Amino acid sequence: MPYGSHIQTTVPTSQIPTPLASSSTLHTDVEDYHPPRIPRPPFTPLASSDTLIHHDEPKQETTSNSEKYQDIEALKLKAGSAVTTLEVPYTPPDGGYKAWSTVLGASLVAFSTFGFSNGYGAFSDFYNAQYLSNFSPTLISMIGALQVFMLYIFAGVAGAVFDAIGPRYLIPSSGFIVVLSLLLLSFTQPQKIYQQFLCQSVLFSIGATFGFFPAIALMSHWFKMKMPYAVGCLVSGASLGGIIFPIMLNKLIPRIGFGWTIRVIALISLFCYVVAVLTIYPRRPTKPLPRFTKLFDFAGFKDPCYLFLALGCWFAVFSIWNPFFYVGLSAKMANPGSSLNEYYLAILCATSIVGRVSPGLIAFKVGRFNLMWMSTCLSAALIFALWYTSFAEANLVTFVVLYGIAAGPFFTLIPPCVASISPIDKVGARLGTIYAFMASACLAGTPIGGMFIRTETETNFKHLILFSGLMAFVGAGFLFAARMLRDRRVFAII
């Protein structure tokens, strides 16, 4: 589809600054273009650091389209014959048919990719009980851990590729790989765990990464002030997948078997991707693929605030997935035969929708860093206060409801927190770096948790829960330290 028209003009080559590395690929927005007013030299606008509404940052002066055009014309006349081309970037329209149509398509991509990953707890229960019963819970949990690891480790690369080729080719390619991986998974054999690793952890994750993260990046192409609502719809799609897919597994496998259940999921994913291809609209021109060294910014760890934020995220994500993977298994151990055992993960994913969407509505009142460390601390407290104290049905239901709400903001607030402390030309690189840094914790956290429950007893599950709660508290401590480095005022909105 055509990108639409854009304004071009000419300015002296000597006045054009060197282009900076792209910072736009993940969870970022683009500010309105502000052409220079004579005699100041022009500058090239970069991606905004906003993914949520940041009222604690200085507001930039706005300029009307007519003023922009007048400034460009004046600069053109003054430039004379020494010229080069300067393209005015597209300003997000913050609404309209194409914008909300793109939200629909992106949400369906999130449903089929990260939503499937969110439902791995149901796979883990089935694999432990029947399909891969010859293997330890630790090794089985590695399937889901590697899946999340692959999603995170390729986040920066996926954004750069999206910048280079756009969604027109990337989204269909992602859909083809995702559907192919599910079809291959449906033909895997019991007790052949390497087949699940290859199909579910590797091939699916590669396809999902190059669909989910570009879908998030598209939100910044179409929205600015309404960005929180657009992102909220997208992450709700991912959480909805975490509700529907576990229920499908629990209901369909006893009736039609594992293979046909996965083929039904593959058909649903194919439908979602077809709708996404038809409803997602590109808006901005593509960019050259940056050098690999520009995808990450390890120099950011020299900033103490960024370092403590990264450490906090690492410790928090080390434990935050354990309830998603193991709460259903703990319920089956304590209450065998209960009709609720199949629905704990679905309830957890349902309430996490509230936790993931709410930061877009309240972060500007509370502060992004404040909300992040407080929600992580609350998650740790709930692990100790509810999950550890009792495995009774009422207690577990209360835990999954409250934990979903408390843990949700962590996933939503990482991008805006990173963006607020990073140079604007390095936001994308630092986001890719922090996700890559967190990937190691995703890979290690749930398998280490599984080592505690080689024998499924209440005592062993309590050891797992203590480990999870302790790591979450350590993560909250580092996040609080990052917040205090940002601003030492206790009641500041940061």
CA–CA gap between residue 372 and residue 221 (Å, rounded): 26
Mean pLDDT of 297-309: 90
pTM: 0.71
In the structure, what pLDDT confidence band is assigned to residue 82 with cuts at 50, 70 and 90? very low
Residue limits of CATH 1.20.1250.20 in the chain: 97-486
Q: Retrieve residue 316's tokens.
A: 């928090």
Q: Which residue has the higher pLDDT, 89 or 343?
A: 343
Whether residue 172 contacts residue 277, with contact meaning beta carbons closer than 8 Å, is answered with yes
- Please tell me the least confidently modeled range out of 178-187, 384-393, 434-443, 476-485: 434-443
Mean pLDDT value across residues 171-187: 94
Residue 383: pLDDT band by 50, 70, 90 thresholds? very high
Residue 307 confidence (pLDDT): 95
* Contact present, 367 and 494 (Cβ < 8 Å): yes
CA distance 253 to 256: 6
Cα–Cα distance measured from residue 279 to residue 408, given in angstroms and rounded to the nearest whole number: 27
Q: Specify whether the CB–CB gap between 134 and 254 falls below 8 A.
A: no
Instruction: Give the whole-angstrom CA distance, residue 229 versus residue 18.
Output: 34
Whole-number average pLDDT of the chain: 79
Confidence of residue 419 (pLDDT cuts 50, 70, 90): confident
| Candidate CATH numbers 3.40.630.10, 3.40.470.10, 3.30.1950.10, 1.20.1250.20; the one for domain 97-486 | 1.20.1250.20
pLDDT of amino acid 408:
85
Give the per-residue pLDDT at 78. 41
Looking at residue 7, what is its pLDDT?
Answer: 40
Q: List 9's β-bridge partners, or say none.
A: 86
pLDDT band at 89 (very low <50, low <70, confident <90, very high): low
- Distance from C-alpha of 367 to C-alpha of 215, rounded to nearest angstrom: 26
Which range among 52-56, 200-204, 433-437, 449-453 has the greatest average pLDDT? 200-204
State yes or no: pLDDT of 20 exceeds 60: no
**Within 13 Å, how many C-alpha atoms sit on residue 444's CB side?**
11
184-229 tens-digit pLDDT: 999 999 999 999 999 999 999 999 988 888 888 788 778 777 776 7
Give the pLDDT score at 90.
65
Q: Which residue has better confidence, 83 or 315? A: 315
Dist. CA 193–CA 178, nearest whole Å:
19
What lies within 8 Å, CB to CB, of 2 at 6+ separation is: none
Highest mean pLDDT among 12-26, 220-234, 291-305, 392-406: 392-406
Pairing status of strand 85-87 against strand 8-10 = antiparallel
What integer is the mean pLDDT of 397-416? 88
What is the percent of the chain with per-residue pLDDT over 90, rounded to a whole number? Answer: 31
The reported pLDDT for the residue numbered 295 is: 75
**137 or 364, which is more confident?**
137
Residue range 162-186: average pLDDT?
Answer: 89
Residue 179: partners with Cβ closer than 8 Å, 6 or more residues away: 266, 269, 270, 273
Q: 98 - beta bridge partners?
A: none
Using only the alpha carbons of the chain, give its radius of gyration.
23
Looking at the predicted structure, is the pLDDT value of residue 430 above 90?
A: no
**Angle at 308 (CA atoms; ends 307, 311), nearest 5 degrees:** 90
Distance, CA of 132 to CA of 123 (rounded, Å): 10
More confident residue, 242 or 253: 253
Band of the pLDDT at 468, cuts 50, 70, 90?
Answer: very high
* 260-285 pLDDT, tens digit each: 999 999 999 999 999 999 999 887 77
For residue 39, whether the previous peptide bond is cis, meaning omega lies within 30 degrees of 0, is yes
